[in-house]
Structure 1
Amino acid sequence: MSYLSLLFPILFVAALALLLKHFLGSLAWAGLLAVITWPLHEKLLNRGWSRTASAALILMALVVSFVAPSVFLFNTLSSELSTVERLVGQLNQTGVPVPEWFARLPMVAKPAVKWWEENLAVPGGLNTLIQTTAGDLVPHLSSALSTLGPSILANALYLFLALLTLFILYVEGPAVIRYVDRAGERIAPQHYAVLRRLFPLSVRGTALGLCSVAILEGIVLGIAYAIAGAPAPALLGVITGYLALIPGGAPLSFTAVSLLLLGQGNAGAALGLFSWGAFELFLVDKFVRPKLIGQRVDLPFLAVLFGLLGGVSTLGVLGLFVGPFMMAVLFWWLRSGNKNSAVDPTAPVENDKWAA
């Protein structure tokens, strides 16, 4: 009979998830941002701010933190594009000679060198190649642009709903927490107290690891770009920092800059930059990021690593937060000894040391 009593809640949750499937991402991001920034919200409330004023200030800070760097990037890119346009015009007039390193590559056949000499090394060849390539891409670009408008509108709606939900969570925080606590105590009465503490710890640890590592990689690789002689190293460093928030973004960035240096004939600088980027990425992804994320819930290195990799490969960016949390729940269960025993809600979960 107990199993039948669980059937209706399970079916209801499944139907509700199906009903809100297009908006689950907005709700999830609003919840994650609320958990990450909740300590700041509480500090503002303790200083006498109203819930509405605190919510408006934090929302404004979140929007500015993303919009302001984007405006800077667009302004910088607009000036850089004019430089690129002048460079392309010069190369089109003089032709692009075959680099010596390209002809010496073991994997490059003579027909490739001959094609370069016939199409790129002659004056006007670069312009002809660009026009031909653009003409071939027009049908594909047209089909992509036809779906771009609705996609932008849909994403703008999801962003607006996420911000609106976040604002409501700030303003109605006590009521929302009370409802969540009631649901959690009904679903998992023995374990909810610990899960309630593990979730914010793991989420804030993941946010700290992602943001701090993104800033670190942007600064370190930006300096490396300047040493290697890459154009606009500050701009490339900012772009790398943004891309480092996304799994695989940092290696894509320094690999592209290395190929740019290689195309300019700076093979030594390209090899050095790529080697340093790979070494720095290995240190950051294998040691720094797992340490920053795992120290809050006392997770071993491999648990954090596989939580991040498994989460992002299954759920995308949201999985970066879900994976470490699930690993934290797993290791709490392993440390508790008896899975059927009641949980002490006052136990210091975050200080529960586990001998590796």
Structure 2
Amino acid sequence: MRPDPATPRPALAGGPAIARIALAAGLVLLGLWTLHGFLPALAWAVILAIAAWPGFARAGRRWPAQRRLLLPIIFTGAIALLFLLPLGLLAVQAGREAGGLLHWLQEAQQSGLPPPAWLTKLPLGGAALRHWWQQNLADPEAVAGLLARLRQSELLGMGRELGASLLHRAILFGFTILTLFFLFRDGETLAAQARRASARLLGPAGERVARQMMASVHGTVDGLVLVGLGEGLLLGIAYALAGVPHPTLLGAVTGLAAIIPFAAPVVFGGAALVLFAQGAATAGLAVFLFGMVVVFVADHAVRPALIGGATRLPFLLVLLGILGGVESWGLLGLFLGPALMAALALLWQEWTAPRPEAPRPG
């Protein structure tokens, strides 16, 4: 017997639930698309808040009356200065060097640039490099022609692009600092909401995953940022003792480069080359060897202990998370990569853990 076509069919039980999930997913995607330009700033604010939260929580327990306004302002301002002061020093140093560079260019146009004495001492290609230098830089007319190729319109275009990029990054930095203030002020409420959401999405393992990711951020900050700054401090002292020009500035650059694995040798290797060019071969070799020792100890002993101890991850997964994160998200990936690896490793352990066997019926 066929059913009457006019008889209404019962709605599927899962229809409303599927519709709600689809609507929620669509709203989330629309929100992410609306905020996609500010997502890096939001991510940086979350990372900075997680990194500074233990100190903020201790200060909040000591001065509970100031937890809602004064302490968030103090911690937010301190973190902002942590970034702005080095940038200010770099800007001041760049301004001082600009005058010397202009004077050097004027002398080059008037009398040319004689080849340095160390150029011919290079074991490979010294004669060829000296010949190129004589043809392009020693002759004042050749120098003037080389500078004339940089047309004024191109320089203006580069200046506009640089100015627009700096303005955009300044706006994102300001938004990061503003978000950081609200994260400090409402952090406990947001953390409780995040724990409930992760528990509903992932079940009992949700809160453990969230805690593991936060521990990964703490360990990565200690293992990358603090260790990198320590490397910069040690190598800055070595630069000063060896006579490298601008040792403080170069030490700061080394510390920033040391945050990224395998990047510091580029900086102290360049400093060693500068010493070689000045005729101080022994000092240059000493700087290079000392830098290699510092990097070896930091990358193979200190960082694995800090990051792996916090995340309980093998060093290979930590390294893959850092390098893969940098390739995918830039500097933000330094912290997102290990956090994602830690979450995936914990989920894998949860899913592959042996289950108690159900008792067999007798």
TM-score class, shorter = 0.7 to 0.9
**How far does residue 335 in structure 1 lie from its aligned partner after superposition?**
4.1
Q: 1:111 to 1:178 in 2, by over 3 A?
A: closer
Q: Is 1:258–1:270's contact at 8 Å kept on the other side of the alignment?
A: yes
Which residue does 1:13 correspond to in 2? 28
2:237 maps to amino acid: I
Counterpart CA distance in 2 for 1:130 and 1:189 is 69
* Aligned residue identity for 1:108: G
1:53 maps to 70
Instruction: After superposition, give the CA deviation of every residue in 1:175-219 in whole Å (9 maximum; x if it has no partner).
Output: 322332332222112321201211211101111112221221112
Match of 1:66 among 61, 80, 83: 83
2:150 matched residue in structure 1 = 137
Map 1:233-248 to 2 at 5 A: 233-246=247-260
Aligned to 1:168: 182
Paired residues for 1:149-160 under 5 Å? 149-160=163-174
Please tell me whether residue 288 in structure 1 is matched to residue 305 in structure 2.
Answer: no
Q: 1:136 to 1:340 in 2, by over 3 A?
A: farther
Which amino acid in 2 is paired with 1:221?
L
- Identify which range, 219-228 or 53-62, moves more after superposition: 219-228
1:70-81 matches, cutoff 5 A = 70-79=87-96
- 1:299 and 2:317 equivalent? no
Query: Is the 2:118–2:277 Cα contact (8 Å) retained in structure 1?
Result: no
1:286–1:305 CA contact under 8 A, matched in 2: no
Check whether the contact 2:229–2:259 (CA below 8 A) recurs between aligned residues: no
Distance 1:45 1:212 in 2: 24
| CA deviations over 1:26-72 (Å, ceiling 9, x no partner) | 11111111111112221222122231111000011112222223333
**What is residue 257 of structure 1 aligned with on the other side?**
271
Which residue number in structure 2 is paired with residue 28 of structure 1?
43
Assess, with a 3 A threshold, how the Cα gap between structure 1 residues 133 and 289 changes in structure 2: closer, same or farther. farther
Q: 1:26 to 1:235 in 2, by over 3 A?
A: closer
Provide the rounded CA distance (Å) in 1 between the counterparts of 2:81 and 2:91: 15
Hey, what's the Cα distance between the residues in 2 that align with 1:228 and 1:91? 29
Equivalent-residue separation in structure 2 for 1:22 and 1:179 (angstroms): 25
- 1:328 is paired with a residue whose SS is helix
Q: Give the Cα separation in 1 of the matches to 2:109 and 2:296.
A: 40
Equivalent-residue separation in structure 1 for 2:60 and 2:108 (angstroms)? 60
- 1:251 to 1:238, Cα distance in 2 relative to 1, 3 A: same
Gaps of 5+ in 2: 1-13, 357-362
Q: Is 1:321 aligned with 2:335?
A: yes
- Residue 51 of structure 1: SS of its match in structure 2? coil
Q: Aligned partners of 1:134 and 1:248: how far apart in 2?
A: 35
Equivalent position amino acid for 1:164 in 2: L
- SS of the aligned residue for 1:22 comes to coil
Alignment partner, residue 200 of structure 1? 214
Match of 2:122 in 1: 105
Query: Any conservation in 1 of the 2:137–2:143 contact (CA below 8 Å)?
Result: no
Q: One-letter code of the match for 1:32? A: I
Give me the CA root mean square deviation. Answer: 3.2
| Structure 1 residues 113 and 148, CA gap change in structure 2 (3 angstroms) | closer
Displacement of 1:14 in angstroms is 2.4
Instruction: Report the TM-score, using the length of structure 2 for normalisation.
Output: 0.80
The one-letter code of the counterpart of 1:59 is T
Counterpart of 1:37? 52
> Which residue identity lines up with residue 308 of structure 1 in the other structure?
I
Which segment is superposed worse, 95-104 or 38-47? 95-104
Distance apart, 1:224 and its partner CA: 2.4
Taking the aligned partners of 1:71 and 1:100, their CA distance within structure 2 comes to: 36
Runs of 5+ unmatched residues, structure 1: 343-356
Give the CA deviation at 1:110. Answer: 4.2
What's the offset of the Cα at 1:337? 6.4
For residues 147 and 117 of structure 1, do their structure 2 counterparts lie closer, same or farther at Cα, with a shift above 3 Å needed? closer
- Whole-Å separation in 1 of the counterparts to 2:74 and 2:31: 32
- Aligned partners of 1:95 and 1:16: how far apart in 2? 59
* Superposed CA offset, 1:224-272 (max 9, x none): 2234321232332123223333555423321322232233233443344
2:120 maps to amino acid:
A
1:136 partner letter? R
* Match of residue 348 from structure 1: none
Could you tell me how far apart the structure 1 residues matched to 2:163 and 2:106 are?
32
CA distance in 2, matches of 1:133, 1:93: 13
In structure 2, C-alpha distance between the alignment counterparts of 1:249 and 1:89, rounded to whole Å: 34
Which of the pair has more CA radius of gyration? 2
Of stretches 23-32 and 91-100 in structure 1, the one that deviates more from structure 2 is 91-100
